[in-house]
Amino acid sequence: MKKEKVRERIVRVASDLFYKQGYNSTGINQIIAEADIAIGSLYNHFSSKNDLLQAYLVKEEVNWFEGYENSTSNISEPREKLLALIDYRKKLQQTSKFAGCHFIKIVSEIGEGNPSVSGFARQHKEKQKDLIKTLVTEYGAQGKLSDIDFVTENIFLLIEGAVVTSTISKQNDSFDQVKKIVQGLLP
């Protein structure tokens, strides 16, 4: 196993803390202590806590899409890839112990007070929706759908709703319900 670089360690530690306890509740000194670095090391890599927040969001986005790609790499049918997306989001909830979506959490904590962060989160959700639209379009090319935008929007909203519901209930049965609805939307 290769040695973790200082920058990677800082981002990993900050990411864990931002996700578990919140951005505003995480101080620079805690990040420095838990990453086991000198304060100068932090500022050699990041000019501010906000820069570190941006690195966290980029890391989470990359992880999200790589995780989805890895979990569907052996699936070729667009309908099955859509159903696998629901399973992927369900798995993310389970592995995080129902801690919720990184992007929803940060926007709910920071709001519009940081336009670059809220904008990044919005773009991330748009990329997720674009992924769904691509798969719905591929499925629709088989002549089985009349309104691709309608189906895309519904699948996106159903999955996002399942994430929020499971975060609150600490259970994953909402994903099973979403899967049944999506199977009905994709005859």
What CATH number has the domain spanning 54-185?
1.10.357.10
User: Domain segments of the chain: what residues?
Assistant: 1-47, 54-185
173-186 pLDDT, tens digit per residue, is 999 999 999 999 99
134-149 pLDDT, tens digit per residue, is 999 999 988 878 899 9
Domain 1-47 has CATH 3.40.630.30: no
Identify residue 115 by its one-letter amino acid code.
P
* Residue 45 to residues 12, 17, 26, 42, 59, Cα–Cα distance (Å): 13, 18, 18, 5, 15
The Cα 18–Cα 53 span in angstroms is 8
49-56, long-range: CB < 8 A, 24+ apart: 50/114, 52/10, 52/11, 52/14, 53/14, 53/18, 53/23, 53/106, 53/114, 53/117, 54/116, 54/117, 54/120, 55/11, 55/14, 56/11, 56/14, 56/15, 56/18, 56/102
9-41 pLDDT, tens digit per residue, is 999 999 999 999 999 999 999 999 999 998 898
